Amino acid sequence: MPSRYVDQTPEDIWKMQKLMHLNFGSITLPAPPENYSSSLKNLIFISTLNPNSFTPDILGRLPNVQTLRISGDLSCYHSGVSKSLCELHKLKCLKLVNTEMGQLSRMVLSEYQFPPSLTQLCLSNTELKEDPMPTLEKLPHLQLLKLKQNSYLGRKLACVGSGGFPELKILPLKSMYWLDEWTMGSGAMPKLESLAVNPCAYLRKLPEELWCIKSLCKLDLHWPQTELRQRLRTFEDMGWRYDIQLYPYGI
């Protein structure tokens, strides 16, 4: 029931031992019944979990969750969420959506402990002030990173670590309206295949290290400024390798 919002869930949900998928607009998991010791070992998919469910007693009973979507006031429940995610040792796909906006509701990404098993991560409305790349580039198996609407409000991105993002293949950067500088260390993102920046109205240039990535074949840029467009003209004629799309075309 992806359009339903459930604030009060019956305790009996912990007795549904064969349950594999929970799909709601929002759901809050209750504390397990008193003296109850069983876990939901078959549960692998949860969408969308309210962050107030992040307590050790609840997450410890979800040992095999692989896909998890969290939406709510991430600042109010910051401590529980940031410290508990690393306990989900089989988690592969994670989406974090902050529903509260403003100075007091921003995430502090460096305080989050992500499980190394993650292969996909999406952030939305998190309003990060700090550059997320130094934290996320350390995830050893991350293949897809989506930084969506209002995820990062800063002007600079820096992939500083040598060999950072070792498995990353797809990188959509959306709604980073003020981004004007992006730097990369040598050997970063060695397996990157697809990059999208929407918009890139203030981005003066792309990192030179991008063109050394042999796997890179698709590049989508929305509203590139004149300086960046001119730098790309050299590569637009190299149709044998790069699929470069500029939107709108012909500015």
CA-to-CA dists, residue 209 to 56, 78, 125, 192, angstroms: 42, 35, 29, 11
pLDDT digits (tens, 9 = 90+) for 172-213: 999 888 899 999 988 999 999 999 999 988 998 899 898 889
Number of domains forming the structure of the chain: 2
- Judge if 98 and 137 occupy the same domain: no
Q: Are 37 and 14 in contact (CB under 8 A)?
A: no
Mean predicted lDDT score pLDDT of the chain: 88
DSSP state at residue 175: S
Residue 103 has pLDDT above 60, yes or no: no
- Judge if 104 and 167 occupy the same domain: no
Does residue 127 belong to any structural domain of this protein? no
Q: Are strands 170-174 and 181-184 parallel, antiparallel or unpaired?
A: unpaired
pLDDT digits (tens, 9 = 90+) for 226-243: 888 887 776 665 555 668
- Read off the tokens for 202: 């203030």
pLDDT digits (tens, 9 = 90+) for 116-166: 999 999 999 999 999 999 999 999 999 999 999 889 999 999 988 778 999
The count of other CB atoms within 10 Å of the CB of residue 56 is 11
pTM of this prediction?
0.91
pLDDT digits (tens, 9 = 90+) for 35-45: 888 899 999 99
Domain that holds residue 178: 133-141+151-251
- Judge if 112 and 155 occupy the same domain: no
- pLDDT attached to residue 211: 86
- pLDDT attached to residue 86: 86
Residue with tokens 């459930």: 6
